Amino acid sequence: MSNMQINGFLQGCALVGLALLAACSSDNDDKVQDPVFPDMQTVEIAVGQAQELTFHADADWKLTIDKSWCRFDNDGAETAQVAGKAGDAAVVVRVTDRNLGFESASAQIMMSMGAKMQPIFEIPRPGRQAEAKMYEKTGYGVNAKLNELEKVTLTYKTRNSSSVNLGFAANFDWLVLSVPEGFTMQKIQGAATEGKPEPTDPNFKTTTIKIADVELLPYARKDKIVISDIDGNKPQEFIVEYTGMGDEDFFFGPGSATSTTFSADGFVYKMQGGAAAPGTETSVACSVFARDMKYRAFVVERNGNEAEDVTGKSWLEVTDDGKGGISYQVKGGGMNPEALREAYLFVLPEKLAADPDFNTYFTANGTPKTPYGVTVVQEDDPQGFAGAWGIGGSVPFDKFVPYAESALGQDGSKPADRFPNAPENSTYVYTFSEKDIAGPFKFGPLGFDRDYRPNDLYELIPESGNWGRIGLSRTDVALPKPYKKSVKGFSADMKTVGETGVACMLFYEDEAHKEQGILDIALIFNKVK
């Protein structure tokens, strides 16, 4: 190839290269670069508030919000989309309470530039706060009122607690989830309210709360009532407080009894068929309630008007389990043939038990002050007769005088000298006059078995006077107080005797003695002017 040809070839190649370069340069000029999106931001905006958000866009843009409760504020108009030109920009975003539930949620603001789209803002919205309130209902009908309570306070009443009529309102469907153990309150279900809970529902429900377990009454405590939604979620707690018994609050006693009588053989008198009679029990059980169950038991006896603590030294024996259970009985279960005896059981709360003056714990008439004390009597086994005038009350035992000590026996005679077979050592004389008569006279022998029945186990022997019309009829004769027992005997009309008269009533203890002619006891009636 000649030089001329070579030069021509090179020139051709250069032209082709220039053409290719020109073509490549034209392609690069026509290609569009991808936009750069702003970094993702999380922005908190309170419900009901608006906030300006700023950003930079490489190109013309459009923003879209994906939740209906979050909107752009475009000159007062709410919109889901806004658009603008490349450069620095600002938008106003408002968060509303639309469709606000109890769960948290988030809205995203998506930016579109060209064919690209991605989120640039996230707006969280917390869920609605569960709210509940507690109310006390007072009064009834048109006078009923509902007062909001921060807590429930219960106090001690006699062997019970106070009560409060409660109701609840919430901004969700609710029920009473739990009530503290030992409290009683019917679990109720309420209705939903919107917004701030108020008891505006016409079917607003209430229930009463109080201490249910009497064993808890002595102790102060604080706990809580919990309401929740129907599924047991969104618990709302309310304090319930019981102040407990006060330092001087106290209960002690076997029911309403203020006294107990033991028979001579140590059995407790019970009401049987409208009358008091010894039962089968030899002790009396009592309940004690005091603050924190701190108390002391004492046995007291009186010498005249002076009260003395004889705990552990008396015929009355007390057992205390330290938990409010007290019992008392005759020491050793004992017989008491000597004389009627009386003691007092006192139980005092801790505050009063340190150094008590028991003289101050008796009323003016000599009985223990409630609720601290109880009178305890043990009968003896008196001999002789019991008597009572129909409307004049019991006749004292000493009015039935042993024959040898009576006016009839002053001449040195014996009962059998006047009335055949009258026992020497168990014949008594009852002297009375017309002015003593107050209705029928009731009388009966003492010292017989409790199942004694007079029936025909007697004889009436007149000496002087008209005794044929006294009209003997069988009856119960009560012993004078504080004895509770009664004996079987007779009622007689002593007005028919005349101005004066003497007669003897002879008693056999049983049929065997009657058959053998053994008279056990006798009563001579001596009516004088």
Tens digits of per-residue pLDDT, 457-516?
Answer: 999 999 999 999 999 999 999 999 889 888 999 999 999 999 999 999 999 999 999 999
Pair 140, 112 in one domain: no
Pair 391, 370 in one domain: no
Res 18: pLDDT:
43
SS3 category, 216: helix
Please report which confidence band the pLDDT of residue 338 belongs to, taking 50, 70 and 90 as the band edges.
Answer: confident
For residue 510, tell me if it sits in a domain: yes
Pair 401, 315 in one domain: no
Pair 162, 116 in one domain: no
Quick one: which of 112, 132, 135, 218 has its CA closest to 174? 132
Pair 94, 144 in one domain: no
Q: What average pLDDT does the structure give for the chain?
A: 90
Residue 17 predicted with pLDDT over 80: no
Residue 16 predicted with pLDDT over 70: no
Res 22: pLDDT:
47
Q: How far apart are the C-alpha atoms of 529 and 68, rounded to whole Å?
A: 117
Q: Among residues 125, 150, 182, which one ends one of the domains?
A: 125
Contact status, residue 48 vs residue 93, Cβ threshold 8 Å: no
What the block records as the tokens of 126 is 């917390």
Quick one: which of 384, 409, 379 has its CA closest to 396? 384
Quick one: which of 121, 120, 122, 109 has its CA closest to 58? 120
Cβ neighbour number for residue 401 with a 10 Å cutoff: 19
Number of domains in the chain: 4
For residue 55, tell me if it sits in a domain: yes
Please report which confidence band the pLDDT of residue 418 belongs to, taking 50, 70 and 90 as the band edges.
Answer: very high
For residue 259, tell me if it sits in a domain: no
For residue 455, tell me if it sits in a domain: yes
Q: Among residues 378, 403, 427, which one ends one of the domains?
A: 378
Domain that holds residue 163: 132-242
CATH of the domain at 110: 2.60.40.10
Res 31: pLDDT:
53
Q: Among residues 329, 363, 378, which one ends one of the domains?
A: 378
For residue 263, tell me if it sits in a domain: no
Pair 515, 392 in one domain: yes
For residue 278, tell me if it sits in a domain: no
Pair 109, 197 in one domain: no
pTM of the model: 0.69
Q: Residues 459, 462, 467, CA angle at the centre, nearest 5°?
A: 95
List strand residue ranges (DSSP E) for 197-349, in order. 206-211, 221-229, 236-242, 250-253, 259-262, 269-272, 275-278, 283-290, 295-303, 306-309, 316-320, 325-330, 341-349
What the block records as the tokens of 298 is 């004492």
